[in-house]
């Protein structure tokens, strides 16, 4: 009341709040100035490429740009009735132009994604397009009967959409038809959902395995005298200084049919020489190698949290009559939960996007979703689908992160 | 090394009334016994050397000593967190070397309280009752009683982090008391508090001890804390109990030079024994002057000795019956209720005199040479 009437003034007569704002503004500008170089670097080299790439998952203007006439004609078509002569003539004009501009290959590739086998249809027809005369419908059908089939035109209509949910739907094993209806792909072609589920399964198993293997080690590290624990910590960190590829390939040497593990199993009579375990180039190999590689990411946050738990808590619990187990479970464990939270989140998020290790040791059924993204980026060159799968993966991770925040609480997380 | 016999102390009487189950007198006077206990961590040095100690039921015993003197190790061995390398520890006549800590039934207050941060105050207090499988209503009743004891009723729902240091201290105390152990160990429990609160808590702990008649082993390195609270004090140094006695004996009749120096302020004068005459020795200082002293812990004629005189037992001026000498005033500090003079006496430049600030007291200036005197019985000849 008196404050609002007579605001407190600074020594030079300006209101104190304003003065404080000015003083803080300067320091804020300074702080911002310090992070500008890094911020610019991150935006240019990281955020912009990611956004541009992900954008391709829902945006594909190739057909619309290269075949403007037929795009216009296709947009008027309902996708069910017989294609009109207008559409055929627009197509021929576009084909002639595309051949002249040498862009017909791109167009053919684009449509081929919607209906396989149409690539040669486009390229061969484009070669002869300049010689065709009206009526174009009959002329085109004469060149190739496929032009008379409605599926060809439906594929072109889908391809002509600039903003398309088609890739996202494909990432989830659905297909988009020309009239806008969404149908599930036939069972033998649903590969993405299976891969997403397998990726989640492998990530969960690896995370749980890391937790069970890492917790006792972290506990040991934190309770040993400093000299001993430092030596052990170096052993934990040693893998970090070795190349990921080297570690993965050494697992191949360990686990392959004629490898160290199988030799040992045979030597101890656990299995016969002609009946060796297949430990690699399958899911087992992926699980073993990933657990080993990601284990330090579980141990380190656990260790740093456990290190900060004074031994007096457990001692206090025991002095009050708690057995070793009760003291651990009721007093020590709850205080190590922030470390578990951090380790689990770290390992899970690293695991869900893991690529090199499954690619090398995964074989057929040890592949993960990032391997299929890689396939579309480098082999099939369908970047749009790769971007769409990446987008789905990102959404899944964000959703899991949200669930994690609701259950565990993101502030209940400590890295050190 | 000091051989210890149990001393009956007033205030133990209440404890006797409380515990009628053990009528055997030795059970009462030998509640906690350390017998020839040794402890080594590395197999090379002994942290605790041949410790013998007997505590009576209801006693408040303080283990006092500089850090690294072995006092906390003794406490940890009693609590069961460290095992004795050699020797036996008895609790109520039972050897406890092989009993795990959770079966010993000893309450403990830790240096940093060790209140479980993920539990509320109420949960912290009911924890020892839960592990004893007490019913809910009984737990609530006992928790309330314990909180009442430390005047913290109404704080059940708070978390330890929401309490001040002094409040946490009280809760830690209540938690150690709530399951009604007969023995409570306290490991420098007031170390983290500020001076005023510490002094206040000293009296509260003391009063709780008197009211409940529990037995307390208290570890501290703060000598004034030890003097204020204890029935008896064991002064530790170098893994050995240097002296075990009640506070006034410890201050007025130290038995060796370490105790004299460690407890309170002390003046040391080094000299050689000239002659021994019953309880009085004649000591010659290195500058040739002589003084008479009480023979306490010194060798025979010709051996070196350290004389110990408390600053407040040195008087200004000459006295016919006392030892007299001269000292040069090096520094004077005005402390309100008294004035502290630092003097050079017989080659010791750290000889301190403490004169009460009475009306008309003598005033000395720096550089002045003053006559001082002390009584022979206030001057104790100790080990060199």
Determine contact, residues B88/B143, Cβ cutoff 8 Å.
no
Residue B107 with chain A: CB contacts under 8 Å:
319-320
Alpha carbon of A178 to those of A62, A77, A108, B271, B343: distances in Å?
17, 10, 17, 113, 108
Q: Would you call A322 and B112 a contact, using CB atoms and an 8 Å cutoff? A: no
Q: What secondary structure does DSSP assign to B218-241, as a single string?
A: EEES-HHHHHHH-SEEEEEETTEE
Alpha carbon of B27 to those of A31, B22, B33, B54, B98: distances in Å?
71, 7, 10, 11, 20
Q: Which of A319, A323, A409 has the most B C-beta neighbours within 10 Å, making it the best mutation to test the interface with B? A: A319
Closest CA to A80 of A165, A181, A163: A181
Facing B114 at nearest CB: one of A313, A322, A330:
A313
pLDDT of B17 > 70? The answer is no
Q: Would you call A312 and B81 a contact, using CB atoms and an 8 Å cutoff? A: no
Q: What is the pLDDT of residue B330?
A: 92
pLDDT of B10 > 50? The answer is no
Residue A327 with chain B: CB contacts under 8 Å:
102
Determine contact, residues A220/A214, Cβ cutoff 8 Å.
no
Facing A335 at nearest CB: one of B117, B127, B185:
B117
Q: What is the pLDDT of residue A390?
A: 93
High-pLDDT (> 90) share of chain B, %: 42
Q: Would you call A310 and B100 a contact, using CB atoms and an 8 Å cutoff? A: no
pLDDT tens track of chain A, all 416 residues? 444 567 777 777 788 888 888 888 988 999 999 999 999 999 999 999 999 999 999 999 889 999 998 998 888 888 888 888 888 999 999 999 998 999 998 999 999 888 888 889 988 898 888 888 888 888 888 888 888 888 889 889 888 888 988 899 989 999 888 777 888 888 888 889 999 999 999 999 999 999 999 999 999 999 888 899 899 989 888 888 888 899 988 999 999 888 899 999 999 988 888 888 888 889 999 999 999 999 999 999 999 999 999 989 999 999 999 999 999 999 999 999 889 988 999 999 999 999 889 999 988 888 899 999 999 999 988 899 999 999 999 999 999 888 888 887 777 666 65
Q: What is the pLDDT of residue A398?
A: 92
- Asked if B106 reaches chain A (Cβ–Cβ under 8 Å), the answer is yes
Q: What is the pLDDT of residue A4?
A: 53
- Asked if A230 reaches chain B (Cβ–Cβ under 8 Å), the answer is no
Residue A316 with chain B: CB contacts under 8 Å:
108, 110, 114, 116, 175
- Asked if B133 reaches chain A (Cβ–Cβ under 8 Å), the answer is no
Alpha carbon of A79 to those of A39, A59, A83, B130: distances in Å?
48, 21, 8, 73
To the nearest 5 percent, what fractions of chain B are helix, strand and coil? 30, 35, 40
Do the bridges between strand B94-95 and strand B240-245 make them parallel or antiparallel, or are there none, so unpaired? unpaired
Distance CA B244, CA A262 (A): 69
Distance CA A340, CA A345 (A): 8
Residue A326 with chain B: CB contacts under 8 Å:
131
Instruction: Look at residue A154 and give its three-state secondary structure.
Output: helix
Q: How many helices (H) and strands (E) does chain A have?
A: 22, 2
Q: How far is B111 from chain A (nearest CA, A)?
A: 9
Least confident of A378-382, B6-10, B91-95: B6-10
Instruction: Look at residue A101 and give its three-state secondary structure.
Output: helix
Assigned token pair, A6: 């007579």
Q: Give the CA angle between residues A320, A321, A327 to the nearest 5°.
A: 85
Mean per-residue pLDDT over chain B, rounded = 86
pLDDT of B6 > 60? The answer is no
Closest CA to A299 of A199, A225, A221: A221
Q: Would you call B179 and A313 a contact, using CB atoms and an 8 Å cutoff? A: no
Q: What is the pLDDT of residue A294?
A: 93
- Asked if B132 reaches chain A (Cβ–Cβ under 8 Å), the answer is yes
- Cis ω before A135 (30° cut-off from 0): yes
pLDDT of B191 > 90? The answer is no
Distance CA A399, CA A333 (A): 27
Assigned token pair, B231: 């029935």
Q: Does the ipTM surpass 0.90? A: no
- Asked if A333 reaches chain B (Cβ–Cβ under 8 Å), the answer is no
Q: What is the pLDDT of residue B4?
A: 41
For residue range B238-278, list pLDDT tens digits in order: 889 999 999 999 998 898 889 998 988 899 998 898 888 88
Q: Tokens 């009683």, residue?
A: B145
pLDDT class of B13 with cuts at 50, 70, 90:
very low
Residue B80 with chain A: CB contacts under 8 Å:
318-319
- Residues with Cβ within 8 Å of B291's Cβ and at least 6 positions away in sequence, in order, are B269, B271, B282, B283, B285, B307, B323, B325, B376, B379
Distance CA A127, CA B131 (A): 88
Measured in whole angstroms, the distance separating CA B304 from the mean position of its chain's CA atoms is: 29
Determine contact, residues A75/A164, Cβ cutoff 8 Å.
no
Q: What is the dihedral of CA A233, A239, A240, A244, to 10 degrees?
A: -170
pLDDT of B324 > 80? The answer is yes
What are the two backbone dihedrals, phi and then psi, of residue B327, each rounded to the nearest 5 degrees? -140, 150
Q: Would you call A323 and B102 a contact, using CB atoms and an 8 Å cutoff? A: yes
Q: How far is B44 from chain A (nearest CA, A)?
A: 18
Do the bridges between strand B380-382 and strand B290-295 make them parallel or antiparallel, or are there none, so unpaired? parallel
Q: What is the pLDDT of residue B3?
A: 43
- Asked if A310 reaches chain B (Cβ–Cβ under 8 Å), the answer is yes
Assigned token pair, B373: 């005197």
Residue B108 with chain A: CB contacts under 8 Å:
315-316, 319
Facing B132 at nearest CB: one of A313, A321, A330:
A321
Using a CB cutoff of 8 Å and minimum separation of 24, what contacts does B90-99 make?
B90/B30, B90/B32, B90/B33, B90/B35, B91/B31, B91/B32, B91/B183, B92/B22, B92/B27, B92/B31, B92/B182, B93/B26, B93/B27, B93/B30
Q: How far is B216 from chain A (nearest CA, A)?
A: 15
Q: Would you call B117 and A310 a contact, using CB atoms and an 8 Å cutoff? A: no
Q: Which of B124, B131, B171, B189 has the most A C-beta neighbours within 10 Å, making it the best mutation to test the interface with A? A: B131
Distance CA A343, CA A210 (A): 9
Do the bridges between strand B338-345 and strand B323-334 make them parallel or antiparallel, or are there none, so unpaired? antiparallel
Q: What is the pLDDT of residue B247?
A: 92
- Asked if A313 reaches chain B (Cβ–Cβ under 8 Å), the answer is yes
Phi-psi region of B135 (alpha: psi -120 to 50; beta: other; left: phi over 0): beta
A136-143 and A118-129 helices cross at what angle (nearest 10)? 120
Q: Give the CA angle between residues A326, A331, A337 to the nearest 5°.
A: 120
Q: What is the pLDDT of residue B11?
A: 41
pLDDT class of B21 with cuts at 50, 70, 90:
very low
High-pLDDT (> 70) share of chain B, %: 93
Instruction: Look at residue A81 and give its three-state secondary structure.
Output: coil
Residue A315 with chain B: CB contacts under 8 Å:
79, 81, 101, 108, 110, 114
Closest alpha carbon within chain B to A324: B102
Q: What is the CA radius of gyration of chain B?
A: 24
Q: Would you call B128 and A326 a contact, using CB atoms and an 8 Å cutoff? A: no
Instruction: Look at residue A363 and give its three-state secondary structure.
Output: coil
Measured in whole angstroms, the distance separating CA A343 from the mean position of its chain's CA atoms is: 19
Q: Would you call B108 and A330 a contact, using CB atoms and an 8 Å cutoff? A: no
What residues form DSSP beta bridges with B32? B55, B91
Q: Give the CA angle between residues B187, B190, B193 to the nearest 5°.
A: 145
pLDDT of B216 > 90? The answer is yes
The H or E element that residue A341 is part of is helix A333-352
Q: Tokens 């579980």, residue?
A: A298
Residue A321 with chain B: CB contacts under 8 Å:
102-103, 105, 128, 131-132, 179
Determine contact, residues A137/A92, Cβ cutoff 8 Å.
no
Residue A324 with chain B: CB contacts under 8 Å:
100, 102
Instruction: Tell me what the mean pLDDT of segment B70-96 comes to.
Output: 91
Q: Would you call B116 and A313 a contact, using CB atoms and an 8 Å cutoff? A: yes
Buried b (16+ CB within 10 A) or exposed e, A152-185: bbbbbbbbbbeebbbbbbbbbbbbbbbeeeeeeb
Max distance between CA atoms of chain A, in angstroms, equals: 99
Q: Give the CA angle between residues A104, A105, A108 to the nearest 5°.
A: 85
Other beta carbons within 10 Å of A362: 27
Q: How far is A219 from chain B (nearest CA, A)?
A: 18
Residue B173 with chain A: CB contacts under 8 Å:
none
Facing A312 at nearest CB: one of B112, B118, B132:
B112
Q: How far is B102 from chain A (nearest CA, A)?
A: 4
pTM over 0.95: no
């Amino acid at each position: 009341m008196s404050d609002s009437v007579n605001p407190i003034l600074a020594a030079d007569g300006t209101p104190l709040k304003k003065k404080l704002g000015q003083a803080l503004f300067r320091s804020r500008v300074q702080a911002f100035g310090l992070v500008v170089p890094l911020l610019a670097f991150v935006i240019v080299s990281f955020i912009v490429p990611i956004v541009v790439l992900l954008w391709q998952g829902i945006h594909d203007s190739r057909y619309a740009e290269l075949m403007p006439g037929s795009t216009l004609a296709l947009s008027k078509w309902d996708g069910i009735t017989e294609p009109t002569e207008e559409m055929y003539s627009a197509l021929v004009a576009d084909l002639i132009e595309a051949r002249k501009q040498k862009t017909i290959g791109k167009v053919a590739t684009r449509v081929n994604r919607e209906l396989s086998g149409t690539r040669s249809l486009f390229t061969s027809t484009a070669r002869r397009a300049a010689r065709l005369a009206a009526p174009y419908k009959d002329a085109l059908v004469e060149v190739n009967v496929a032009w008379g089939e409605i599926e060809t035109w439906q594929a072109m209509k889908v391809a002509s959409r600039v903003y398309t949910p088609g890739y996202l739907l494909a990432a989830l094993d659905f297909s988009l038809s020309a009239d806008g209806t969404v149908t599930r792909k036939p069972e033998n072609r649903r590969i993405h959902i299976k891969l997403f589920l397998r990726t989640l399964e492998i990530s969960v198993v690896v995370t749980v395995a890391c937790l069970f293997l890492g917790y006792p080690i972290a506990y040991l590290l934190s309770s040993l005298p400093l000299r001993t624990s430092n030596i052990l910590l170096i052993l934990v960190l040693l893998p970090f200084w070795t190349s990921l590829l080297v570690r993965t390939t050494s697992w191949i040497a360990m686990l392959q049919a004629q490898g160290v593990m199988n030799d040992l199993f045979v030597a101890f009579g656990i299995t016969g020489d002609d009946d060796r375990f297949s430990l690699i180039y399958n899911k087992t190999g992926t699980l073993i190698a990933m657990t080993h590689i990601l284990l330090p990411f579980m141990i380190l946050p656990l260790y740093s949290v456990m290190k900060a738990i004074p031994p007096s808590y457990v001692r206090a619990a025991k002095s009050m009559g708690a057995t070793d187990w009760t003291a651990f479970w009721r007093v020590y464990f709850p205080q190590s939960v922030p470390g578990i939270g951090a380790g689990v989140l770290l390992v899970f998020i690293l695991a869900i996007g893991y690529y090199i290790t499954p690619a090398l040791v995964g074989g057929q059924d040890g592949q993960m979703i990032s391997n299929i993204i890689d396939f579309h980026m480098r082999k099939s060159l369908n970047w749009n689908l790769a971007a769409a799968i990446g987008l789905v993966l990102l959404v899944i991770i964000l959703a899991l992160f949200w669930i994690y925040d609701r259950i565990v609480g993101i502030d209940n997380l400590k890295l050190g | 090394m000091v051989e210890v016999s149990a001393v009956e102390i007033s205030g133990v009487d209440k404890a006797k009334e409380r515990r009628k189950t053990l009528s055997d007198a030795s059970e009462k006077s030998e509640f906690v016994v350390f017998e020839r206990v040794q402890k080594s961590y590395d197999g090379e040095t002994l942290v605790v050397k041949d410790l013998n100690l007997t505590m009576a039921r209801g006693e408040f015993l303080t283990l006092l000593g500089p850090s690294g003197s072995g006092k906390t190790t003794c406490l940890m061995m009693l609590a069961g967190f460290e095992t004795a390398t050699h020797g036996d520890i008895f609790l109520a006549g039972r050897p406890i070397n092989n009993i795990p800590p959770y079966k010993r039934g000893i309450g403990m207050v830790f240096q940093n309280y060790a209140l479980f941060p993920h539990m509320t105050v109420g949960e912290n207090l009911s924890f020892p009752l839960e592990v004893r499988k007490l019913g809910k209503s009984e737990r609530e009743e006992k928790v309330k009683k314990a909180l009442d004891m430390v005047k913290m009723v109404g704080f059940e729902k708070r978390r330890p982090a929401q309490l001040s240091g002094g409040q946490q201290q009280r809760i830690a105390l209540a938690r150690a008391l709530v399951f009604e152990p007969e023995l409570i160990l306290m490991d420098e429990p007031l170390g983290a508090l500020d001076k005023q609160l510490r002094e206040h808590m000293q009296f509260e702990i003391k009063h709780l001890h008197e009211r409940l008649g529990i037995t307390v082993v208290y570890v501290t390195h703060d000598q004034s804390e030890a003097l204020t609270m204890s029935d008896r004090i064991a002064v530790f140094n170098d893994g050995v109990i240097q002296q075990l006695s009640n506070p006034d004996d410890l201050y007025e009749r130290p038995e060796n030079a370490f105790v004299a120096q460690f407890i309170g302020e002390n003046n040391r004068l080094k000299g050689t024994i000239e002659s021994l005459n019953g309880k009085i020795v004649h000591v010659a200082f290195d500058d040739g002057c002589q003084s008479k002293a009480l023979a306490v812990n010194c060798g025979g004629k010709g051996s070196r000795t350290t004389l110990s005189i408390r600053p407040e037992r040195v008087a200004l001026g000459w006295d016919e019956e006392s030892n007299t000498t001269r000292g040069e005033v090096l520094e004077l500090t005005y402390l309100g209720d008294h004035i502290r003079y630092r003097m050079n006496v017989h080659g010791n430049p750290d000889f301190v005199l403490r004169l009460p600030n009475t009306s008309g007291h003598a005033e000395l200036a720096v550089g002045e040479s003053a006559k001082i005197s002390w009584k022979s019985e206030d001057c104790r000849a100790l080990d060199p």
